[in-house]
């Protein structure tokens, strides 16, 4: 049996700030357990919910020299849904209200975590054939395995996969600081290794030294080789393109299933959505204080309110859009200017716009189930999970053709009656508006066509089963 360790800074159900946690927590459930022993290792954060931290069982501890001091490393364990999770404990590093906060402190914290994780493996008696590292917080592990740990028999044959979830975040500081925190020699701080534009870069370590690199959609794997999307590392990614592949994320089809979802008002499936789905719309309108009308075209958004999500495009055309017979619902928090923008439009068009500036999982599910269309005009989107959830719930995605959005939403073609959503290519507000209006026109004037778009979307399979098979193939290929 091949042994795999997933190493990451977060994973559901223990700690989550974004899509990374969904990927790390979901993938092992769908890996073939007869062929792979797949386990997860995380930091033991003090901010973990109490109900989850109570499930952790203390195993042992040891001391590790880091930055000239012997530091405590506790090891805890939990088993959820048949998956073994290990936790690295050190309250000095992992206390605090959130997993991330102060950049410089985060760099030190995750350098400690990477070393502690590698040192913990012989202690727990788990010798992986492959370590699957996720994002910059684990970018040094492939470097350490070629450096300080290369001489030991235990570590010698361990392969590494490094997954880039979002290239924008790289773990960058000046060379002197990264060198001190990583405890790596001068040899590693040259432009072909961990130095980038006179700074130290932890993510770059993973890209240079991993045996294989993946990212979270095929289109994003191509995009990051270009200057616009490459965040300064496009040259390196072109150089390593033979080792780079895109594998689109999945979603948990047990959690996101309109036929069993306990958070929505009326359950439905691909057979009866024509009758049942509108009950969710009326309930959502009632809950948000919008005029109750099952025929009004309702657009939803559940999003972090940041530049990346294309909110400046919405700002440009919101007044025009609100002249149409639509309702617009947004849920999320983020940059203050976008929070205030949506509050303003809620005040100005109170019968048409509902801005919920907080986050609520139950309301998110109701928006996916109750809306007719789901808007994602992202500037860049490595994978995106929201459009996959929208397809699952029969809510037609309207997206910009970038990254995972391009890979997962097939644009509607009225002449061939194909497609699962609507899309636009250029990052342009009026191009977006014309596509929204095109979707409106199909919704109001060609209801049968609209329902066929929903049919096709709900029939698509973006479960983890498909993605996990591609990861298994990669693991097999590397381990041999």
The answer to whether position 268 is within a domain reads no
Q: Examine the domain organization and report whether 474 and 437 are in the same domain.
A: no
Q: How many CB atoms neighbour CB 379 within 10 A? A: 18
**Residue among 328, 284, 278 at smallest CA distance from 303:** 328
Q: Examine the domain organization and report whether 220 and 194 are in the same domain.
A: yes
Counting the structural domains of the chain, the total is 2
Q: 279: which DSSP letter?
A: H
Per-residue pLDDT at 151: 79
Class of residue 350 by CB neighbours under 10 A (exposed 0-12, middle 13-18, buried 19+) = exposed
Indicate which CATH number applies to the domain containing 235. 3.40.50.2000
**Residues contacting 473, CB < 8 A, separation 6+:** none
Q: Examine the domain organization and report whether 103 and 149 are in the same domain.
A: yes
Per-residue pLDDT at 148: 82
How far is Cα of residue 471 from the mean position of the Cα atoms in its chain? 16
Q: How many CB atoms neighbour CB 349 within 10 A? A: 18
Do 420 and 397 contact (CB within 8 A), yes or no? yes
The pLDDT profile of the chain, 480 residues, written as one tens digit per residue, is: 999 999 999 999 999 988 899 899 999 999 999 999 999 999 999 999 999 999 999 999 999 999 999 999 999 999 999 999 999 999 999 998 999 989 999 999 999 999 999 999 999 999 999 999 999 999 999 999 999 888 789 999 999 999 999 999 999 999 999 999 999 999 999 999 999 999 999 999 999 999 999 999 999 999 999 999 999 999 999 999 999 999 999 998 988 999 999 999 999 999 999 999 999 999 999 999 999 999 999 999 999 999 999 999 999 999 999 999 999 999 999 999 999 999 999 999 999 999 999 999 999 999 999 999 999 999 999 999 999 999 999 999 999 999 999 999 999 999 999 999 999 999 999 999 999 999 999 999 999 999 999 999 999 999 999 999 999 999 999 998
Tell me which residue range forms the domain holding 347.
Answer: 273-461
Q: Examine the domain organization and report whether 243 and 349 are in the same domain.
A: no
How far is Cα of residue 442 from the mean position of the Cα atoms in its chain? 31
Q: Examine the domain organization and report whether 27 and 75 are in the same domain.
A: yes
Q: Examine the domain organization and report whether 370 and 331 are in the same domain.
A: yes
Residue written as tokens 């599910």?
365
Whole-number Å distance between alpha carbons of 370 and 265: 9
The answer to whether position 263 is within a domain reads no
Whole-number Å distance between alpha carbons of 51 and 63: 28
Q: Examine the domain organization and report whether 205 and 308 are in the same domain.
A: no
Do 404 and 318 contact (CB within 8 A), yes or no? no
Per-residue pLDDT at 40: 98
Phi and psi dihedrals of 185, rounded to 5?
-80, 170
Q: 226: which DSSP letter?
A: S
Whole-number Å distance between alpha carbons of 134 and 7: 6
Do 422 and 435 contact (CB within 8 A), yes or no? yes
What are the helix (H) ranges across 7-133? 19-30, 50-53, 91-94, 103-124
Do 430 and 364 contact (CB within 8 A), yes or no? no
Whole-number Å distance between alpha carbons of 372 and 136: 37
Per-residue pLDDT at 18: 81
The Cα angle at residue 124 between residues 120 and 125, in degrees rounded to 5: 115
Phi and psi dihedrals of 106, rounded to 5?
-60, -40
Beta-ladder partners of 422:
398
Q: Examine the domain organization and report whether 116 and 190 are in the same domain.
A: yes
The answer to whether position 260 is within a domain reads no
How far is Cα of residue 168 from the mean position of the Cα atoms in its chain? 13
The answer to whether position 134 is within a domain reads yes
Q: Examine the domain organization and report whether 378 and 437 are in the same domain.
A: yes
Q: How many CB atoms neighbour CB 259 within 10 A? A: 12
The answer to whether position 301 is within a domain reads yes
Per-residue pLDDT at 343: 98
Q: Examine the domain organization and report whether 8 and 124 are in the same domain.
A: yes
Q: State the greatest distance between any 2 C-alpha atoms of the chain, in Å, as a whole number.
A: 71
The answer to whether position 352 is within a domain reads yes
Q: Within 13 Å of residue 368, how many CA atoms lie on the same side as its CB? A: 27
Q: Examine the domain organization and report whether 161 and 226 are in the same domain.
A: yes
Whole-number Å distance between alpha carbons of 225 and 260: 41
Do 62 and 73 contact (CB within 8 A), yes or no? yes
The answer to whether position 255 is within a domain reads no
The answer to whether position 258 is within a domain reads no
Per-residue pLDDT at 149: 86
Q: Examine the domain organization and report whether 469 and 436 are in the same domain.
A: no
Q: How far is CA 363 from CA 171, 264, 329, in A?
A: 34, 9, 11
């Amino acid at each position: 049996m091949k042994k795999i360790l997933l190493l990451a800074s977060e994973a559901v159900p223990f700690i989550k700030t974004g899509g990374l946690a969904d990927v790390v927590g979901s993938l092992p459930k769908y890996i073939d357990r007869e062929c792979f022993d797949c386990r997860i290792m995380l930091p033991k954060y003090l901010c973990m919910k109490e109900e989850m931290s109570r499930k952790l069982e203390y195993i042992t501890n040891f001391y590790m020299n880091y930055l000239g001091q012997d530091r405590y490393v506790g090891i805890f364990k939990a088993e959820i849904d048949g998956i073994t999770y290990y936790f690295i404990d050190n309250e000095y590093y992992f206390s605090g209200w959130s997993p991330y906060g102060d950049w410089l402190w985060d760099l030190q914290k995750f350098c400690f975590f990477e070393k502690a994780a590698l040192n913990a493996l012989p202690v727990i008696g788990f010798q992986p054939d492959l370590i699957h590292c996720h994002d910059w917080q684990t970018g040094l592990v492939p470097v350490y395995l070629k450096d300080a740990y290369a001489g030991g028999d235990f570590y010698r044959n361990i392969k590494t996969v490094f997954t880039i979830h979002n290239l924008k975040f790289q773990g960058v500081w000046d060379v002197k600081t990264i060198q001190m925190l990583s405890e790596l020699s001068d040899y590693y701080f040259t432009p072909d290794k961990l130095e980038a534009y006179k700074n130290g870069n932890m993510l770059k370590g993973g890209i240079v030294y991993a045996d294989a690199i993946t990212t979270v959609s095929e289109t994003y794997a191509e995009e990051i080789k270009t200057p616009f999307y490459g965040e300064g590392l496009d040259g390196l990614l072109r150089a390593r393109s033979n080792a780079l592949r895109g594998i689109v994320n999945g979603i948990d089809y047990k959690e996101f299933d309109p036929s069993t979802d306990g958070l929505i008002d009326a359950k439905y499936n691909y057979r009866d959505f024509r009758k049942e789905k509108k009950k969710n719309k009326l309930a959502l309108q009632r809950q948000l204080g919008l005029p109750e009308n099952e025929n009004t075209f309702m657009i939803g958004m559940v999003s972090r309110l940041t530049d990346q999500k294309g909110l400046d495009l919405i700002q440009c055309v919101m007044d025009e859009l609100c002249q149409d017979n639509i309702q617009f619902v947004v849920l999320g928090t983020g940059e203050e200017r976008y929070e205030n923008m949506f509050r303003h439009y809620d005040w100005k068009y109170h019968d048409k716009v509902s801005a919920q500036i907080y986050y609520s999982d139950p309301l998110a599910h109701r928006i996916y189930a109750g809306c007719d269309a789901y808007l994602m005009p992202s500037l860049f989107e490595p994978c995106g999970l929201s459009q996959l959830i929208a397809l699952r719930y029969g809510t037609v995605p309207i997206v910009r053709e970038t990254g995972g959005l391009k890979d997962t939403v097939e644009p509607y073609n009225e002449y061939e009656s194909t497609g699962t959503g609507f899309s636009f290519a250029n990052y342009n507000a009026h191009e977006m508006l014309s596509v929204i209006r095109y979707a409106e026109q199909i919704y109001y004037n060609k209801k049968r066509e609209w329902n066929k778009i929903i049919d096709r979307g709900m029939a698509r399979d973006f479960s983890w089963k498909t993605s996990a098979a591609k990861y298994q193939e990669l693991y097999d290929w590397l381990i041999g």
